[in-house]
Structure formats: C-alpha cells, structure tokens
Amino acid sequence: MFVYADNAATTAVSKTALDAMLPALGEVYGNPSSLHQKGREANYALMDARAAVAKCLNAEPREIYFTGCGTEADNWAITEGARMGAEKGKKHIISDTIEHHAVLHTLQKLEKQGFEVTYLPVHEDGVVRVEELKAAIREDTCLVTIMYSNNEIGTLQPVREIGAVCREKGVLFHTDAVQAVGHVPVDVVADHIDMLSLSGHKFHAPKGVGALYCKKSIRIKNFIEGGAQERGKRGGTEAIPSILAMAAALTDSCAHMQENMAKVSAMRDRLIEGLGKIPYSRCNGAPDKKAPGIVSFCFEGIEGESLLLRLDLAGICASSGSACTSGSLDPSHVLLALGMPHEIAHGSLRLSLCEFNTMEEVDYILQQVPEVVKTLRQMSPVWTHMLEKMPDPYQEG
C-alpha cells in the first residue's frame, strides 16, 4: 500500500486546481498588464481569482496581494509591520516560540536591526495564553504575529481572542495562516486580523504561489520593487496559471469545508487513539485543540529518522517534524517549546492527512507504526538502558 501522509509539507495538486491551471497555461498567456485583448483576458481572470480568494477569507479583493509563496507573505507582513511601528517610535514585537522559520528568521533579522521581540510560551498543550499576551503588550508594541495553526503539531491558537485584544490595544495583528486557510474556516473580519499569510501548495494548488491579505486601512509599502503589479506593491508579472489554480483550489476547499473537516478529523482521531496505545508514546499538542489533519507523536527510545526510513520502505510518506528543518539533527524547536526533553523529541513522527486520505490508509498506518517502533526499540541501546529501570512492555505476562 502507498500512503501519502505528509500534507503539512505539501499537498498533491487536485483535479480542480489542474483543470483551472491547464487552460491558463495554454490559452490565457497574455500579460495582464497589456492593453490588448490577450492582456485583458488574463487581467479579467486575475480579477476573478482575486475576488475568489478574498471571498473565502471574508476580505475585499483589493486587500489581497498575490505573492510567490507563504514565506514571502510572512516576510512582507512582518517587515512592514515593524517598519510602520518604527516610524512611530515603536520597536517591540510579540510572537511565540512555535512559529514557522519564515516568521522566526524574519524576527531574528529585525532583532539585529534593534527591534525587541517577546516570544510567548505555548505551554504543554501547544497553545498561547491570551492573558499572557495581554500582559506582554507595552506602550511601544507595534506588532503581534501569532500563527493560526501550527505546522508540526497542528494546534490552533485562539486567534479570534488574540485579534480582539490587539484591536482593543491598537496593535497590528498578523497571522501566519498557511496551515489554516483551506482547512478551517478563516474570517479576517470576525477574527480581527490585520494581515494574514497563505500558501497555495498547502491546499492542493501548485507550489510557488501564495498571498498576503492586508486590511485596506493599512498602508504597507512595496516588498519587491518593480512594475505596477499588485497595485504597485509587488512587482513581477503575475503567475496567472498558478494564481488561477490557487483560487480554484481554495474555492473548492471552502465549499467542502465542513465535510472535509469531519472526514479528516475522524481519521486524525483514529490515528491519535491507535498510536496512543503504543507503550511510552506521547501525543504532542492537546488533541482537542488541533486543526483537522495533523498528528504528532514522540516514541521514547527510538530515532525519528530511522522510523521515517522504515515507514518509507513500507510505503508510508511521513515526516519527523517540519520539512524545512529535516536534514538537521537538532530536535524540532516546536517540540522543545512544549517542554519535551531533547532525547524524547528526537523520536518524533508527524503524520498529516487531507481529504484524499482514507480510513483504510489510517488502518494501514496503525498496523505498521507499532511494529516498526517495536523493532527499532529492540535494536536501540537507549531502549535497553531504559529497560533497566522499567518493566518491558513487550514482555508477555
């Protein structure tokens, strides 16, 4: 059996997205800035796509700026939020310890430029506390950037409450919603969001296209200098085929949101229940505070990388943490932020599902993972050492 369970790293392009993209690659080849009929055709398609993306977020079309990826949207929003703050003498930013590196590394760059950043803890459940955010806001706080849904452990942050606090205090609020848009209902008005990042390839559009939502009253400046595209704020000829595919994929996700959420959550819950039966395993992040698709576990006494390789041989594509940090031997900053000791954080497994997965696949995963964990433990000196201090859970009787 082959199971793709790494949808938080990227998703397969859906038929809906492909059907929107192929005609655009073939026929809609005009440059939307051109005045002739081919240009107008592309421009109308672009306008429709912008309106479709806006509609899914409860935003206005002029509040949507297409970008090259989610990372670009994060960089743009945070850099601009900081610049606007600095103009008013405000150089304090609030974030948290489990953000994606697109956010963390942008914040580190700003720290080198003299900004001060407060990183809120996420506690054992993987969730920030609104009270702690309130207490952290100062006279000179210019920006709060807290993700909507975490890419490694799937926890949802209390975005609506965070937005309300920021609005009340007059602080700009950005959220990296790359793992949320297309997966859970996102409403920028009800959630009091000023800026939001999204990325197409996390909801079945192709890679290399994203968007920044920026509330119309906020005067962000250019991030990329160039032509008059995106109302002059993001130069570069628009990637029409990818943008049309993203709009179609998002419209499709939003139209089937409730049924997809129900289906994916049911598979997630079965996985959490089944993997929880493995001795000395821990589910990372509170199971009742999670977005539908992401399951993260640590298994004591084994290495996550060995587990991944064996699962790959069994036809299961999974991840040990975020795709962006795999390849490094450091344990994930997200698991460490939950208070997980280094040696346990090394034995992590992330399975991320989408609506194209099936219960049969979940059952196959639940048949394979316990076996592989057991085999790896029997080969592991760390596990042998652990057995000196505890009964062997694999010994009968």
Ligand X SMILES: *Cc1c(COP(=O)(O)O)cnc(C)c1O
70 touches ligand X (CB under 6 A)? yes
Centre a 10 Å sphere on the Cβ of residue 29 and count the other Cβ atoms it contains. 12
Q: Which is nearer to ligand X, 199 or 251 (CB)?
A: 199
Whether residue 377 contacts residue 392, with contact meaning beta carbons closer than 8 Å, is answered with no
Q: Is 246 in the site for ligand X (CB under 6 A)?
A: no
What Å distances lie between residue 330 and 63, 308, 317, CA to CA? 39, 16, 21
What type of residue is 330? D
Member of 104, 147, 212, 344 binding ligand X (CB under 6 A) = 147
Nearer to ligand X, 157 or 179 (CB): 179
Residues forming a β-bridge with 348: 298
Q: CB 9 → ligand X: shortest distance, Å?
A: 7
Pair of tokens at residue 290: 């999670």
Q: How many other C-beta atoms are found inside a 10 Å radius of the C-beta of residue 166?
A: 24
Least CB distance to ligand X at residue 10 (A): 7
Which lies closer to ligand X via its Cβ, residue 149 or residue 357? Answer: 149
Beta-carbon contacts of residue 276 (< 8 Å; ≥ 6 apart): 283
> CB 303 → ligand X: shortest distance, Å?
24
Nearer to ligand X, 211 or 344 (CB): 211
State the sign of the Cα–Cα–Cα–Cα dihedral 257, 258, 259, 261: positive
Q: Give whichever of 69 and 353 is closer to ligand X, judged by the CB atom.
A: 69
The residue among 6 and 300 lying less far from ligand X, judged by its C-beta, is: 6
Q: Is 71 in the site for ligand X (CB under 6 A)?
A: yes
Cα separation of 214 and 227, whole Å?
20
Binding flag, residue 77, ligand X (CB under 6 A): no
Which residue from 321, 282, 314, 315 is spatially nearest to 300, judged by alpha carbons? 282
Q: How far apart are CA 141 and CA 82, in angstroms?
A: 10
If one asks whether residue 354 binds ligand X (CB under 6 A), the answer comes out as: no
Binding flag, residue 234, ligand X (CB under 6 A): no
List 283, 317, 324, 354, catalytic entry: 324
The verdict on 210 binding ligand X (CB under 6 A) reads: yes
CB 69 to ligand X: min, Å: 3
* Residue 268 to residue 7: CA distance in whole angstroms: 13
Residue nearest to ligand X according to CB distances in the complex: 70
Restricted to residues 149-178, the positions that interact with ligand X (CB under 6 A) are: 151, 176, 178
How many positions of this chain bind ligand X (CB under 6 A)? 15
Furthest C-alpha separation in the chain:
80
Site mask, ligand X, residues 82-121, x = CB under 6 A? ------------------x-x-------------------
324 is catalytic: yes
- Residue 76 host element (H or E): helix 70-87
Residue type, 62: R
Helix, coil or strand: residue 394: coil
Could you give the residue numbers annotated as active site?
324
- Summarize as ranges the residues that interact with ligand X (CB under 6 A): 69-71, 74, 100, 102, 147, 151, 176, 178-179, 199, 201-202, 210
